[in-house]
Structure 1
Amino acid sequence: MNDKILTTLEYSKIIDRLAAHAATALGKNVARALYPSRELEEVKRSLQATDEAYKADRLKGSAPFGGVTDIAPALQRARIGGILNPSELAAISLTVRGARRVKRHIMTLHDDDAIPMLNNLAEQLSESRELEEQINACIDDQAEVMDSASSELASIRRELKVGESRIREKLDQMVRSSSVQKMLQDAIITLRNDRYVIPVKQEYRSHFGGIVHDQSGSGATLFIEPEAIVNMNNKLRELHVAETREIEKILLRLTSVVAEYEPDLMLDLDLLGQLDFAFAKARFAHGMKGTLPRMNDRGFLKIKRGRHPLIDPAAVVPLDVELGNSYSGIIVTGPNTGGKTVSLKTIGLLSLMAMSGLFVPAEDGTQLCVFDAIYADIGDEQSIEQSLSTFSSHLTNIIRILSSMTPKSLVLLDELGAGTDPAEGSALAIAILEHMHRSGCRIVATTHYSELKAYAYNRKGVINASMEFDIQTLSPTYRLLVGVPGRSNAFAIAERLGLPRHIIDHARGEVSEEDMRVDSMIASLEEDRLSAEAERNTAESLRRELEEQRRRFDEQRERFEQQRDKLLVKAQEDAKEAVAKAKREAEQIISDLRRLAQEEGASVKEHKLIEARRRLDEAEPQLRKQGAKSGAAKPKAPQKIGAGDEVMVYSLNQKGHVVELTGGDALVQLGILKMKVGLNDLELVKSAPAQPQQQKQAASLKRSKDDQVRTELDLRGANVEEAIIEVDRFLDEAFLSNMGRVYIIHGKGTGVLRTGIADYLRKHRHVKSYRLGEYGEGGAGVTVAELK
């Protein structure tokens, strides 16, 4: 693979774009050194690394290469005994830390989703934590040696601070003095040659002893070190020299430590460069929407909607081509500027990219081959200096290709046989193609010669192709059509442009009958192709439309089922909550009954209470699973329901008896619980037997003989509101037990409770009449109620 081919196919521009995606100088160097490989296994490994980085970058983003720099020159100086400066040491520390972050990032990714090649590289990175800690203990983030680097340095810098402070105090006293201020240009203290000085006016030079270190541009100001601080400045200078020597000792010590780690760090740089390069390939693939090609070494390539990576994605026309299976050569014909050369370069460049371990801008399913070499004769390389014509230039390249190609080579020829007599050029082109075809290499050639169309048509293993041209718009579509030879559109173009008809007819007469038949055949083939393509597009459109309708139908059905299940679950949960609320109320009633039984000695049997609670538990609905059939069905038609009838309550899935009807609702007895239920929530199970009207309601709800119900209710001490609640509950129990008379004890007192109870009994539905007690019944302290 010579450099001339890489230049012809613009491979270097791909490398430049790839290098721009690298995060470090290490990765950029690896990218710029990239070269296509001729070994299938090596190419597969490189593509696997790219694929792993592509997956990692898509899931978690690129590895954190921040802080990683090319420290190889510093390491080499440390190895040969040089002294590294603080900036170099700080860069080494940052690189060690960056390598550790990269290692942890990739190993964490590997734990979540296997990326074995990148993980293997990351595992080889050394931690070098001790080196980093030693450097950080001496060098700060601004690449300055810290006071804590050594006790001697800390002591020297303390003395420096004290000395500088004393000098400033001494000079401050001088500049604040009124006698001195008039001699100063400005009342400031400054530095010249690392020594403290003050700006003195030129005319007062004789009033100051000391040393002149500098003067202003105008000469009006002298920067004088007063004699009083000369010794102090000398001492400060000595301390600075001592500081510099101590810093050199610290840097020498750190450099020797770096030298010990030099082999590991050099390996780390190589590994970091490879990792950054892999992620650069991934980001490059993302940018051009590339895919992983399948590779082979049997000379087969199949490009599906391949795009030239250097052409604007919005303008590029995808290329579909297959080579190396049924045919090993393609002869492309078509008009100039139709895209033949771009097609050649796309095939060659995508092959070079894949052989370099890069994704290619094509659709999934693209297959490419690892060739031992790619040869190309593209473009006009006419040289005035070498006295080479266009034909000579092309022929020189072809001779070079013929001497080097092998059966595993790919040869790309543009305008084969051009630049000389058409008859001789076409004959020579056929001979060259036949020789290459017999050698077994893969060939893609473009030409204008119609003789090559016939050659491709008659030669097994060679196929015609053409660049599509729109006669209506007189412009190419840049689509490569494999299997269809190109037409000469000169007559059609001339006619549309307005050339007189008699001239065109005369020109047609000059064309041989055989050529006309070939042109007619090509036109017929092209017409059939366009018709088939239109029908295929229509079928494809219908298929997409049907798939879209089916997708929408499936989505609507899924939404309907989800909504149905949600509504059903909600209804069941509402019912469950209603029953739970009723249970809580029933539990309270049972608790009150048990308390009253204990307080008043009434024989409310415990097993009856347990049985009532069990019936309430059974009344709680069970949530059915999605898709299960409903347990109960609603009544098909309205039914006449009366008092005493046995009914099914749908919302509670429980049977009960109707106590009374009020409008569109019914009071239903469920065990010991009474609930008001809508008639549309009931289904008649069993009608009550016919009986006298006054006993109809209670007949089906008689208690057993074992049940003992109180005949009297003691309300003494209660207020009117509490008494009314107790009286209502008491009368219901008495009515259900078919008791004819009950006694309500309220005491005499002020008469407020008696009056309130009397008013309530007057309106109660179960009370036929009431009166005060007679002698022996409690007198005015008791009200006797006769029940219906």
Structure 2
Amino acid sequence: MNQKALKTLEYFKIIEHLESLASSLMGKEMCHNLKPSTDIVQIRKEQTQTSDAMKRIFKKGSISFSGVKDIRASLKRLEIGSILNAGELLRICILLETTSKIKSYSKKENPDIADDSLDSLFAALEPVHPLYSRIRTCIISEEEISDEASSTLKHLRRSMKIANDKIHSQLTSMVNGSARSYLQDAVITMRNDRYCIPVKAEYKGQVPGMIHDQSSTGSTLFIEPMSVVKLNNDIKELLLKEQEEIEKILAELSELAAGYTELIKEDFEILTELDFIFAKGQLSIQYKGSEPQFNTDGIIDLKSSRHPLLNKDKVVPINIRLGSDFDLLIVTGPNTGGKTVSLKTVGLLTLMGQSGLHIPAFDGSRLAVFKEIYADIGDEQSIEQSLSTFSSHMTNIVTILNEADKDSLILFDELGAGTDPTEGAALAISILTFLHRLQIRTMATTHYSELKIFALSTPGVINASCEFDVETLRPTYRLLIGIPGKSNAFAISSKLGLPDYIIEEAKQHITTLDQSFEDVITDLESSRSIIEKERAEIKLYKTEIEALKAALTKKEEKLEERKEAILREANEKAHAILRDAKEYADQTIKNFNKYGKAAFSMKDMENDRNSLRGKLSEVEKNLTLKNKAQTKKSNKPTDFKIGDSVKVLSMNLNGTVSTLPNQKGDLFVQMGILRSQVNIKDLELIDEPVITAPTMSKTGGGKIKMSKSLTISPEINLIGKTTDEAVSLLDKYLDDAYLSHLPQVRIVHGRGTGALRSAVHNYLKKQKYVKSFRLGIFGEGETGVTIVEFK
């Protein structure tokens, strides 16, 4: 890939960001050297690795490779039999410890989870526990070897401590005893690694020993008393033996490490590669990227794509297509409208994708593999080469035309600009025609109307425009494929205050053909705006219809279930009545047979008949009561007031009147979170419960109506409140909602730092009337809301 395109499209800025995300020096080096590939197999492999790294980061969190140091020189020394110093061995130890941590990070909680592209790399890691455990036991830091490194070293250091204690004891007795008057200060000091005491120069004869140093003024001599010379010599000898033992320990550790050179080298290389791959995963997360689908057919289809170097919260996503129905896209529109950004977005995202990086676009975006990308963007004026803007552009274009083929992507910014407009437009059309014949994927921006007409009249070439709002004089940055754009020079000038008579005179200099073409574009853009607005309204209506249809279907299902339940209950009751009747009839027949066969009493027979008549009367009485219960009072519109408690007979639900009846007798009833329109014929007024508060007054009844469902919303919004304010509001709201018999409510607290959500959850845990609560799911507000269910 040519360096000029990489620089023009700001590819190296992406690489700098990627480099900052790597933890190790070698990982940063791999990021720095990353270049776009033209091998589709390699590209897909690297894209898959980036996706798998991103998934692992989402699942287990980020991972650090800072323990991976450059040990390549140390490994070469081990191969030739050299002894490593403590620092080198410690770096190998840290590398192996990092290997162990990374290995643990890769372990799967569920063995049934499918393998991904990184499993083979993790599996190849070998922590070499015996080596790093031994090094960690022996070496504390680069300057300190542990006493536990060997028994000899431990013995030497114990002997040194004993000798030191003896010297301090003798010198302390001299400093605090007989020699005190001869000393400059009552201290023990070191000179030339030997213990001394500071003696005044005039008393040097009073303290026999070896003079090692004197003060700058000469008034103090640092003398090693003869009584400690042998002990100092012993310490010196022990120090030499300690150094020899340390060298021996380092040699032993180096020999042990040399046996694992190949494993250590492989760990180093794998960790470096994993650091590089996980840096790409982190970049994808930061850019909100996705894995593009690659093809070799030259097809680009970017969905809601964004330029990664622009603020992701402010940049307007654009949809770009090229290579399927057309291979040449001509983008027109006013300056600062986003034409160049669109051009750079296509080029930069293609470079990123071919480098194995995710692109900031919607899932399902497609990119083609190009062997070369050529970009002629920006002011190419060269003062050093005495070239004008047009000459510089043309020099670049000549190079592109000589080198490009059908596996290339070409990006032209303001093609043909910098010279006479008529000649520039003709030249631009000729260049684009040449590239179109070769079927080279090309995207160009322009102001020339001739190029708009060329796109309209040439198969395989299409116009696109960057939308511009003339009223606000601001671009919307939306790319509209299939619609040529206007320069809007007259409209913008008028908005900025240019006199109308100057604009009208300017219009007279435009040919009728040009004016007609601009009018056609204006009408086309106006029609497009109207169509898009109507399409949005239709989409909204469609959504509402779907919601109503779903609600109606749900209601019908409930009614059908209710109907089946009533029929089943009626059948069961009928069956029970028939069974009772049969049993009673059987008993009566038995009695009459008994009376017919033997002597019988008319009195007994009359009693049985009266009993049967009483049974029938009781049944008739029950039926009469049921019929009376089912016969409801005929309602009048004036019977209903807002807030009255009613029963919806067809739905067998209680609710509260929300609106007064209209002329047809229809009104709205609030039933929990359901609000429905019903007719007064389907309603029955019911006595609502009251709460008596005897402490309110001695004479008043103190009755509080519970019809709160009229005013209580099934949702409360706490966003922007402090935790104290939120809990206070929530406390009152939940009391009212519970008294209103709402089955569940929705608390909106937002995501933010999570403090408000935690306060809400802590409060809910203490409420006895709360059956359960949970965070919202997709469509309910997710982690920004909490759903509460009452007991």
Q: Distance in 2 between matches of 1:548 and 1:209?
A: 107
TM-score, with structure 1 as normaliser: 0.69
Rate the CA distance shift 1:206–1:479 in 2: closer, same or farther, 3 A.
farther
Is the CA contact (8 Å cut-off) linking 1:90 and 1:143 kept in structure 2?
no
Task: Determine helix, strand or coil for the equivalent of 2:373.
Answer: strand
Rate the CA distance shift 1:220–1:427 in 2: closer, same or farther, 3 A.
farther
Residues 1:347 and 2:353 are matched in the alignment: no
Residues 1:78 and 2:57 are matched in the alignment: no
Report the residue type matching 1:405 in the other structure: A
> How far apart are 1:555 and its partner, in Å?
10
Match of residue 44 from structure 1: 44
Q: Distance in 1 between matches of 2:367 and 2:352?
A: 10
Task: Determine helix, strand or coil for the equivalent of 2:484.
Answer: coil
TM-score, with structure 2 as normaliser: 0.68
Match of residue 160 from structure 2: 160
> How far apart are 1:550 and its partner, in Å?
7.3
Residues 1:244 and 2:239 are matched in the alignment: no
Aligned length: 584
Match of residue 402 from structure 1: 401
Match of residue 541 from structure 1: 540
Match of residue 125 from structure 2: 125
Rate the CA distance shift 1:546–1:175 in 2: closer, same or farther, 3 A.
farther
Match of residue 502 from structure 1: 501
Is the CA contact (8 Å cut-off) linking 1:214 and 1:222 kept in structure 2?
yes
Match of residue 116 from structure 1: 116
Report the residue type matching 1:513 in the other structure: T
Q: Distance in 2 between matches of 1:219 and 1:541?
A: 99
> How far apart are 1:415 and its partner, in Å?
1.3
Task: Determine helix, strand or coil for the equivalent of 1:479.
Answer: strand
Match of residue 770 from structure 1: none
Q: Distance in 2 between matches of 1:630 and 1:183?
A: 120
Q: Distance in 1 between matches of 2:221 and 2:417?
A: 84
Task: Determine helix, strand or coil for the equivalent of 2:444.
Answer: strand
Alignment of 1:25-104 (within 5 A): 25-63=25-63, 65=65, 67-104=67-104
Is the CA contact (8 Å cut-off) linking 1:110 and 1:119 kept in structure 2?
no
> How far apart are 1:359 and its partner, in Å?
1.0
**Cα deviation code 1:608-654 (max 9, x no counterpart):** xxxxxxxxxxxxxxxxxxx98997569999xxxxxxxx99xxxxxxx
Q: Distance in 1 between matches of 2:553 and 2:361?
A: 32
Q: Distance in 1 between matches of 2:566 and 2:139?
A: 77
Report the residue type matching 2:530 in the other structure: S
> How far apart are 1:63 and its partner, in Å?
4.4
Rate the CA distance shift 1:505–1:223 in 2: closer, same or farther, 3 A.
same
Is the CA contact (8 Å cut-off) linking 2:296 and 2:368 kept in structure 1?
yes
Match of residue 294 from structure 1: 293
Rate the CA distance shift 1:204–1:465 in 2: closer, same or farther, 3 A.
farther
Task: Determine helix, strand or coil for the equivalent of 1:37.
Answer: coil
**Cα deviation code 1:216-257 (max 9, x no counterpart):** 566655443323222321221121122112211221222232
Q: Distance in 1 between matches of 2:545 and 2:381?
A: 57
Is the CA contact (8 Å cut-off) linking 1:110 and 1:116 kept in structure 2?
no
Residues 1:189 and 2:170 are matched in the alignment: no
Task: Determine helix, strand or coil for the equivalent of 1:338.
Answer: coil
Is the CA contact (8 Å cut-off) linking 2:179 and 2:207 kept in structure 1?
no
Rate the CA distance shift 1:209–1:630 in 2: closer, same or farther, 3 A.
farther
Task: Determine helix, strand or coil for the equivalent of 2:145.
Answer: coil
Report the residue type matching 2:271 in the other structure: L
Q: Distance in 2 between matches of 1:421 and 1:406?
A: 29
Is the CA contact (8 Å cut-off) linking 2:86 and 2:142 kept in structure 1?
no
**Cα deviation code 1:665-698 (max 9, x no counterpart):** xxxxxxxxxxxxxxxxxxxxx9994899xxxxxx
Q: Distance in 2 between matches of 1:173 and 1:555?
A: 100
> How far apart are 1:300 and its partner, in Å?
0.3
Match of residue 20 from structure 1: 20
> How far apart are 1:51 and its partner, in Å?
1.2
Q: Distance in 1 between matches of 2:325 and 2:271?
A: 45
Rate the CA distance shift 1:634–1:428 in 2: closer, same or farther, 3 A.
same
Report the residue type matching 1:446 in the other structure: T
Is the CA contact (8 Å cut-off) linking 2:486 and 2:521 kept in structure 1?
yes
Q: Distance in 2 between matches of 1:29 and 1:242?
A: 44
> How far apart are 1:173 and its partner, in Å?
1.4
Q: Distance in 2 between matches of 1:223 and 1:316?
A: 76
Rate the CA distance shift 1:501–1:31 in 2: closer, same or farther, 3 A.
same
**Cα deviation code 1:90-144 (max 9, x no counterpart):** 2212211221332243242683532332011112222422322332342236773
> How far apart are 1:505 and its partner, in Å?
1.6
Q: Distance in 1 between matches of 2:613 and 2:394?
A: 123
Q: Distance in 1 between matches of 2:131 and 2:77?
A: 17
Report the residue type matching 2:528 in the other structure: R
Alignment of 1:348-387 (within 5 A): 348-387=347-386
**Cα deviation code 1:724-745 (max 9, x no counterpart):** xxxxxxxxxxxxxxxxxxxxxx
> How far apart are 1:357 and its partner, in Å?
1.0
> How far apart are 1:41 and its partner, in Å?
0.6
Match of residue 226 from structure 2: 227
Alignment of 1:455-534 (within 5 A): 455-534=454-533
Task: Determine helix, strand or coil for the equivalent of 2:385.
Answer: coil
Task: Determine helix, strand or coil for the equivalent of 2:492.
Answer: helix
Q: Distance in 1 between matches of 2:542 and 2:73?
A: 63
Q: Distance in 2 between matches of 1:374 and 1:37?
A: 12
Q: Distance in 2 between matches of 1:309 and 1:542?
A: 36
Task: Determine helix, strand or coil for the equivalent of 2:108.
Answer: helix
Rate the CA distance shift 1:328–1:249 in 2: closer, same or farther, 3 A.
same
| Structure 2 runs not aligned, ≥5 long | 575-579, 582-607, 615-791
> How far apart are 1:421 and its partner, in Å?
1.6
Report the residue type matching 2:152 in the other structure: E
Residues 1:442 and 2:437 are matched in the alignment: no
Report the residue type matching 1:255 in the other structure: S
Is the CA contact (8 Å cut-off) linking 1:26 and 1:272 kept in structure 2?
no
> How far apart are 1:545 and its partner, in Å?
4.9
**Cα deviation code 1:25-45 (max 9, x no counterpart):** 332222222111101110000
Is the CA contact (8 Å cut-off) linking 2:68 and 2:272 kept in structure 1?
no
> How far apart are 1:66 and its partner, in Å?
6.1
> How far apart are 1:390 and its partner, in Å?
0.8
Match of residue 453 from structure 2: 454
Report the residue type matching 2:115 in the other structure: I
Is the CA contact (8 Å cut-off) linking 2:87 and 2:141 kept in structure 1?
no
Is the CA contact (8 Å cut-off) linking 1:9 and 1:345 kept in structure 2?
yes
Alignment of 1:498-647 (within 5 A): 498-545=497-544
Q: Distance in 1 between matches of 2:459 and 2:526?
A: 25
> How far apart are 1:20 and its partner, in Å?
2.0
Is the CA contact (8 Å cut-off) linking 1:53 and 1:278 kept in structure 2?
yes
> How far apart are 1:333 and its partner, in Å?
1.3
Task: Determine helix, strand or coil for the equivalent of 1:467.
Answer: strand
Q: Distance in 2 between matches of 1:285 and 1:385?
A: 40
Rate the CA distance shift 1:11–1:231 in 2: closer, same or farther, 3 A.
same
Task: Determine helix, strand or coil for the equivalent of 1:417.
Answer: coil
> Which stretch of the first structure deviates more once superposed, 262-271 or 61-70?
61-70
Match of residue 284 from structure 2: 285
Report the residue type matching 1:196 in the other structure: Y
Report the residue type matching 2:121 in the other structure: L
Q: Distance in 1 between matches of 2:470 and 2:556?
A: 49
> Which stretch of the first structure deviates more once superposed, 49-58 or 222-231?
222-231
Alignment of 1:653-732 (within 5 A): 689=611
Q: Distance in 2 between matches of 1:46 and 1:690?
A: 92
Q: Distance in 1 between matches of 2:217 and 2:466?
A: 80
Rate the CA distance shift 1:220–1:291 in 2: closer, same or farther, 3 A.
farther
Report the residue type matching 2:73 in the other structure: P
> Which stretch of the first structure deviates more once superposed, 373-382 or 317-326?
373-382
Is the CA contact (8 Å cut-off) linking 1:107 and 1:119 kept in structure 2?
no
Is the CA contact (8 Å cut-off) linking 2:37 and 2:43 kept in structure 1?
yes
Is the CA contact (8 Å cut-off) linking 2:79 and 2:258 kept in structure 1?
yes
